[in-house]
Chain A
């Protein structure tokens, strides 16, 4: 498949916020505090929506399907952007994959 998601992001992968993370939706943005590292992260409105869907136990493909219906963007582009953000959230240990 062209532009496939990275290997760790299986289409059926599900996620949960890391236990040492607290998040606050504020305005149309979100601030995430990683208690382990005392680091703050900011998410833009689309990032907030991704975080919400991840927190609702949606699968990776389910997140993309939901977002492509909500935003005026091609499935391919959206898949790339979501994969990049999810990968970033996992690398920073803000989210974890539910085994």
Chain B
């Protein structure tokens, strides 16, 4: 009775320069800072590039450092800058992957390295449509919550590619010069633009078992409060110190949270077990339909 739980949002502050360290920064891009430069924002990727973003996020100017090649610049723009731009412009953009199950979308959220991309890739290899492995725009039509993938993409570590695509090796392209991750190229473009928004059937929060030898796949429903916190913690934002935008995001996410079934998903990080994980997810989604 009468307990209070706590969850921090941002990773910390650098009072000297940065407004905040972004919580959605991935392991390989943890050198991200957002500075104010007059009315504009300066989104800095240490040693790679800077992006000047106008106060209303209507304009973005890229300033790559020497040695930052085209792949890296494209990766930063698509996967890091544009989601924050959309977030700043009032969209709810989640850092996560999504696949199509039936007529709807199933999204995966989790901290960097939790297996979002690998799980999404596993669905794709099993014949499900991959919607995105990185960015999802949530749309509240007043009745349903829809998900509009930002773009179709898969960025995977080499070991995941080898394990998942053993029989049908895909075409690969480097993600960025500083990472060994590879971008999986698809044979044909899929129409996943805004017109292809799908109902968001469920979100799965990827967690790990406390006991790493635990081989069970455990899915548990999360309450709406946990859902709201998960949405906030996984939403891309340009300026986490902007109280007005944070308040509006909180209200929008809160309105959606009660209509999105969210589950925690704990499973062994074993490629051989991914089929069981997929089966468990599909069963939960079909049962709720």
Contacts and interface: CB of A to CB of B under 8 A. Distances in A.
A40 B2 contact: no
Interface residues of B, number: 29
Interface in A66-88: 73, 81-82, 84-85, 88
Contact of A27 (B4, B224, B247): B224
Interface of A is mostly: mixed
A22 B228 CA distance: 13
Contacts of B246: 33, 35
Interface in A1-60: 20, 22, 24, 26-27, 29-31, 33, 35, 37-44, 46-47, 50
Contacts of A35: 243, 246-247
Contact of B225 (A30, A37, A92): A30
Given A26-B254, A27-B225, A39-B6, A44 B1 contact: yes
Contacts of A47: 2-4
A27 B2 CA distance: 16
B257 interface: yes
Nearest to A77: B1
A34 B224 CA distance: 19
Interface string B227-253: 111001100000010010011001100
Interface residues of A, number: 29
Interface in B1-54: 1-10, 20
Contacts of B6: 39-42
A73 B7 CA distance: 30
Contacts of A84: 2
A40 B7 contact: yes
Contacts of A33: 9, 232, 246, 250
Interface of A: 20, 22, 24, 26-27, 29-31, 33, 35, 37-44, 46-47, 50, 73, 81-82, 84-85, 88-89, 92
13 contacts: A22-B250, A30-B225, A31-B225, A31-B228, A37-B8, A39-B7, A40-B7, A41-B6, A42-B225, A44-B1, A81-B2, A85-B2, A88-B4
Interface of B: 1-10, 20, 223-229, 232-233, 240, 243, 246-247, 250-251, 254, 257-258
